[in-house]
Amino acid sequence: MGALRKEFLIVYDIEDNKIRKKLFDRFKDFGMNPIQKSVFWGLLNKAERQCLEREIEILLNKKNTDKVLIIEIDIQKNINTFFIGHSENDFKVSSHGII
């Protein structure tokens, strides 16, 4: 994986359906893949990550009950990764981006 785009896992707990839907759509706009109801995986460059962080902060508007966790990961190199209910292909990058 190139240094320009890094692998991220985004986990969120958003109470408001409207805000949750907006975030879901934005994550998809950035090419992220929904892995579970509130979990996305994909590649982002630094500008994309920063843009998403700003948009999340604006949408959440400092609500203490809503939470988003953005984790930089490397599933392919992590020997402690277990796939239960997923296949390794769910986390493969193709030459065109994310499968």
Q: What are the residue ranges spanned by the domains of the chain? A: 5-98
* Confidence band of 10 (pLDDT split at 50, 70, 90): very high
The arithmetic mean of pLDDT across residues 64-68, rounded, is 83
- Give yes or no for residue 81 having a pLDDT over 90: no
What are φ and ψ of residue 71, in 5° steps?
Answer: -120, 125
Taking alpha carbons only, the member of 50, 41, 43 closest to residue 6 is 43
Q: Which top CATH class is 5-98?
A: alpha beta
Residue 25: CA atoms inside 13 Å, Cβ hemisphere, count?
Answer: 7
pLDDT of residue 54: 92
Position 41 confidence tier, pLDDT thresholds 50, 70, 90:
very high
- Helix (H) or strand (E) holding 43, with range, is strand 39-45
First to last CA, the chain: 14
Calpha distance 26→29 (Å, rounded): 5
Contact 55, 32 (CB under 8 A): no
Integer Cα distance of 99 and 91 in angstroms:
8
